[in-house]
Amino acid sequence: MSTPIAHSPTDCILVADDLPENVRLLQTLLVRSGYQNVHTTTDPRKVRAMYDEVNPDIVLLDLHMPGEDGLTVMRDLRTANEGRTFLPIVILTGDMSPQAKRDALDAGASDFVAKPFDATEILLRVRNLLGTRRLHAQLASENRSLEERVKERTDALAASRLEVLSRLAMATEMRDDTTGEHTRRVGQLAAELAELIGESPEKVEMIRRAAPIHDIGKIAIPDSILHKQGALNADETAIMRTHTTIGASILAGGDNALIMTAERIALCHHERWDGLGYPNRLVGETIPIEGRLTAVADFFDALTHDRPYRLALPRAFVLLDIERGAGSQFDPRIAQVIRKAPSVMSPES
């Protein structure tokens, strides 16, 4: 028998019934109706493997089978299909009792077909459920597209905001470093260190982009303190240290990973491994990894380049200082790998 059915020849149908005559009947009916991709089994234990292999668009499943009943198979299929496009499962059964229906629905059945089969009924239910599956797939695709567009827009806005903040940070830094290159170098070295300790490429790039604005809070520090020749007194030191919390407050409230990373770096890049840093005296791994990486990069770059109030120190001296500070001032893993960083190995500028 043939009924006009709107379908795609590529629709994949999986039939599981322990009676070979039922399987043959269903396969013949479906193939004659234009479904060219029909897979069958009489062994319920093979259903999961077949699902993994053929990725069916619909499953016709006998409820009562020896060895492993349809309810168990169905629960297994629902678990396997979790997070994927809606998979319709039609229960084939001669038991249409209310309890059987409740059990099947609880296990995830989409519909029922009573035995003995009515050909028209089966074809209509298959057609309708395949249509529902296509609508689910279309909706999922549109949702993914919308999420991607929203993410692109959010990322673009975050990147724009970060660009403004980076330029502001550079302008602030030029009060100390007339070239304004310190911020860029810190970002590059922090990213290299992140890569050397095994951070993911995504994390490395995030740090490369966020670390340059670690000192954004210095915009609020008076020039009399920022440019003072010689040591700061206790009050001046306290004011200088507020650049961490000020920087974090400037970056606070962001809902983008990049901005939130920059906020953590601004706040934590003067924390110490031994807990004697500031502003929150965090200890060891309670300091965000971004802050620990930027602390080493900032220390190295600041000391190996001239500033208005002091001359640069030799790289070898600064590297020894970092290594001596491993486990006290710096994360020992980071201090251990700094000599391997390309920025450190390159000839001095």
Which residues are within 8 A (CB) of 132 and not within 5 positions of it... i.e. 6 or more apart? 86, 88
**How far apart are the C-alpha atoms of 347 and 349, rounded to whole Å?**
6
Q: Distance of CA 327 to CAs 59, 82, 132, 269, Å?
A: 60, 46, 60, 16
**How far apart are the C-alpha atoms of 221 and 219, rounded to whole Å?**
6
Q: Based on DSSP, count helices (H) and strands (E) in the chain, helices before strands.
A: 14, 5
Is 218 marked active-site?
A: yes
Q: Which of 115, 151, 218, 340 is catalytic?
A: 218
**Which among 315, 321, 332, 337 has a CA at the least distance from the CA of 190?**
337
**How far apart are the C-alpha atoms of 17 and 92, rounded to whole Å?**
8
C-alpha dihedral, 297 to 303 to 304 to 307, nearest 10°: 120
CA 246 to chain CA mean position, Å: 29
**Which residues pair with residue 37 across a beta bridge?**
12
Which tokens go with 84? 């994927």
Which residues are within 8 A (CB) of 265 and not within 5 positions of it... i.e. 6 or more apart? 207, 210, 211, 213, 214, 288, 290, 291, 294
Which tokens go with 175? 């009060």
For the chain, give the number of residues. Answer: 349
Please identify every residue annotated as catalytic.
Answer: 218
